[in-house]
Each structure stands twice: as structure tokens, then as C-alpha cells.
Amino acid sequence: MGYSQALSGLGSASDELDTIGNNIANSSTVGFKSGTTLFADMYANTVSTGVTSDQGIGVRTVGVQQNFGEGSFTSTGSATDLAINGNGFFQLSANGVTEYSRNGQFHVDPNGYIINAEGANLTGYPTSTGGVVTTMIPQPLQINEGSMAPSASTTITSGGINLDSSLGVPSVTPFSPTNSNSYTYVAQTQTYDSLGNKHDVNMYFVRDPQPTPPVTPATVNFSVYATEDGTLITPPAPATTAGLVGDMQFSSSGTLVQFSDANGNVSATTPDTVSMTLTSSTGSNTPLPISVNFQGATAFAGVGNAAAAIADGYPAGNYDGVQIESDGTVEATYTNNKTVTFGKVVLANFINPNGLKNVGNNAWTATADSGPAEVGTPGTGPLGALLPGELEESNVDLTANLVDLITAQRFYQANAQTVKTQNAVDQTLLNMN
């Protein structure tokens, strides 16, 4: 019987050496999870009675249990490198097969798909029209690497503007954009036409004289003028004052009461907004109506701040790269400093990760033992958060595995010694004649 025990021990020792060797070989593999060989003793049953013999017949390898503990994180600076801080696996699509991995080394292929080194697609929730993320079945994430069309400006806003009411009327009249003594403040912005051409728009604020005799309740008024690319805008008919946008009226407490247009009209719904018209000679759609919104403007004395006016709209842009946020949002960046959302990375978690089947390439597939994948976005439920620009290193403890290697070697040698001893006993029996 000695041979049986010894041979089973040699086989199991060899299995352990394989596992430890595999750990050591993958100590620098991103996202690798170390394994431990599991053993079980063996006893023989008597065929006639089913009684188990007290004498063991050796050992067998039950399997390899993987340690899904977290590895350390390394910053790479690559926009498509990802690590998971906490529970979860990346869900991949490899030739129609769903796989799971902790290796976050991804890149964008020529078709805009986010893939790993083996060509498996990173999956997530896609976006619908307008960039809204849907929560349908995860699909391979794809980036549109084409250009972005321009968007014509429609609104100019100015937050935090305060026009100093202690200042008198300008010393020079009438208003002229080329004479700083003819206006009180100026705010600058850029607008874009339908072709994406940029136009410089300046807004000028001119303090108006107080009415004589004074009115009740008292007001503070500023006339607003504008130029486009240095040329005074044309007000809507029947107004004829070149460049006039409208008149801002503040209460005696300094808050904006209304903003009337060049013809004295006040919007019934948005009394702090007027409309002006821009023109251009670039071949774009013209005239271009622009809504001017100065909500929250004030006229407190002693401080003046014509905060920079901000126009919406933007020029055309070329694809410049991809960025992935910690919540899994996948965005393409463009040379016009705009971004477009194309999806959201999903993570998967399992009740029993050790039930996953290792298919190589740092990937696993689900089994009945692992249970079905619980899929969601990073940071929700039990799922961990994404760490963009970082990678999870192998969780192999190299020092511990080198020590285990010595132990496994002794395990193998001891079983070999059992074979040697049994052979010596057999030789003695053969020599007894």
C-alpha cells in the first residue's frame, strides 16, 4: 500500500508546485488573483461491508481556490486604464461570450470600441439620443471618433454683475464704443454662428441721468449697448439708436426690476431677459437672435463688477480622446473643449466568486456554483468604485510563495522518500529466499 500513498502524495505535491509556480509567474500580471491548492485525504471502503478502513490510502487534489483579495493600485495616467476599488469585475464580451476580469488595461481600437489586449470588448450601458444613459442590457462600449458639429449661440448670461450706482453719468455723450468716457462698464464674450465661426460681442453699460423731477419709487437705470466684431448691432424696428440692446431698471434697493428692449418692451414671463439680433457675413444663418439674460444683476453703490458675459454655443471640434469618470461615465473629448457621453461602464458581482471558471487571459466565466452576475454601475450597491488612470496589481505575495515553494519541495521529497523506503522493503522480501 505504501506505493499508493506515496504516488498520490507525489501527484498532489506536483499540483501544489504547479499552483505556486503559476502564482510566481503571474506576480506581475495586472489583476491576477493568486491560488491555493486544496487537498483531501482518501480512505478505502470494504466492498462487502462498506466499512471504511482506518488506514488511509493517500491524498488527492480537490482543486485550486483563488484569493480574490484586492491587490495594490498603481497610477498609470492612461485615460483608459481602470481599477476597481472594492467588489466587482469588468464585464467583457469576447466573441459573443461574456467574461469577467479585474484586469483594467483597456484601449480604443480603430473602430472606437474599448477593448483589452486580447480584443475583448468592455461593456456598459449605452446612451440614447441626447447623451442620456439607458439601463438596458450591457453592450460593447463604442466611441464616435468623428468630428463634432458646431452649435450656434442662443443665449448670453452674466452672473454676479453689479453696476455701481454711486457713479455718475458718463462725461461724454452720445455713447461710442471707441470712447471709454462714454460708458460705465463693458463685458466681453464670444458667440458662434451656425457655421461655428467665432464673433466678438461686447456689452456696454451706460449710467442714465436720474429723472427730473425725481420719480417715486426711485429707480437707477443703465442703458445697454452691444457691438459685434466692432460694429454696433442694429436694434429691432422701429428703434433707430445704433447698438441699443435695452434699458436695465433697478429698484431703490439695488435689485433688477426689469430689462426692457430697445423699443421699451418688457417680457411678461422673463422681465430680466431681452432679445437682440446679430448678423454676420460668413455665410451662416443670419440674422441670429440672441437672448440676453441678466438675472440676479444688482446696482449696489461702492463696488462695480461687470462680470464677464458668457454665451452658449461652440465651434466645430475634432475628436481628441476619451475619458472615463469614477462613476463609469465614458466621454469623448473634442478640440473645442466639449465632451459627449457615449455610455457608462458596468461592473458585475457574484455571490460565490470562487465558483467562477478560470478561462485564462485573466478572465473568468460564470457557472452554476458562482451564481448569476449581479450587474450595475460602479459605486452602487455592493459594487466598488472605479479608479480611472490606475491599475490593480497582482495580489500575489511573492515572499510567501517562495517560502511555500520550499515547503512544497519538501512535501515532494518526503513522498519520494516513501517510495524509496517501500522499494527497500520490497527488495528485502525478495531477498528472503
Range of the domain at 83: 74-145+330-392
Strand order in the sheet with 310-311: 273-278, 288-293, 155-157, 310-311
Report yes or no on 233 lying in a domain.
yes
On whether both 165 and 304 belong to a single domain, the answer is yes
Report yes or no on 250 lying in a domain.
yes
| Residue that the C-alpha cell 464673433 belongs to | 199
Report yes or no on 321 lying in a domain.
no
On whether both 159 and 302 belong to a single domain, the answer is yes
On whether both 300 and 163 belong to a single domain, the answer is yes
d(CA 52, CA 46): 6
- Domain end marker among 279, 311, 343: 311
- pLDDT for the residue numbered 341: 92
Query: Read out DSSP for 217-267?
Result: S-EEEEEEEEEETTEEPPPPTT--STTEEEEEEEETTSBEEEEEETTS---
- pLDDT for the residue numbered 53: 59
- pLDDT for the residue numbered 222: 95
Report yes or no on 319 lying in a domain.
no
- pLDDT for the residue numbered 211: 82
d(CA 139, CA 310): 38
On whether both 197 and 259 belong to a single domain, the answer is yes
On whether both 294 and 229 belong to a single domain, the answer is yes
Structural domain count of the chain: 3
- pLDDT for the residue numbered 46: 56
Report yes or no on 196 lying in a domain.
yes
- pLDDT for the residue numbered 418: 75
On whether both 23 and 80 belong to a single domain, the answer is no
- pLDDT for the residue numbered 52: 56
On whether both 206 and 270 belong to a single domain, the answer is yes
In Å, the largest CA–CA distance within the chain is 143
d(CA 28, CA 354): 22
Report yes or no on 325 lying in a domain.
no
Q: Domain with 236 in it: what CATH number?
A: 2.60.98.20
Task: Give the angle subtended at the CA of 36 by the CAs of 384 and 65, to the nearest 5°.
Answer: 55
Please give the single-letter amino acid code of residue 319. Y
On whether both 273 and 253 belong to a single domain, the answer is yes
On whether both 94 and 218 belong to a single domain, the answer is no
- pLDDT for the residue numbered 58: 82
Report yes or no on 211 lying in a domain.
yes
On whether both 14 and 160 belong to a single domain, the answer is no
Report yes or no on 323 lying in a domain.
no
On whether both 126 and 165 belong to a single domain, the answer is no
- pLDDT for the residue numbered 51: 54
On whether both 247 and 305 belong to a single domain, the answer is yes
Per-position pLDDT tens, the chain of length 433: 567 787 877 888 888 889 999 999 999 999 999 999 988 888 776 555 555 556 777 888 888 888 999 999 999 989 999 999 999 999 999 999 999 999 999 999 999 999 999 999 999 999 987 778 887 889 999 998 889 999 999 999 987 789 999 989 999 999 999 999 999 999 999 999 989 999 999 999 999 998 888 788 889 999 999 999 999 999 988 999 999 999 999 999 999 999 999 999 998 888 888 888 888 777 777 788 899 999 889 999 988 877 778 999 999 999 999 999 999 999 999 999 999 999 999 999 999 999 999 998 899 999 999 999 999 999 999 999 999 999 999 999 999 999 988 888 888 787 777 777 776 776 777 777 5
d(CA 298, CA 256): 6
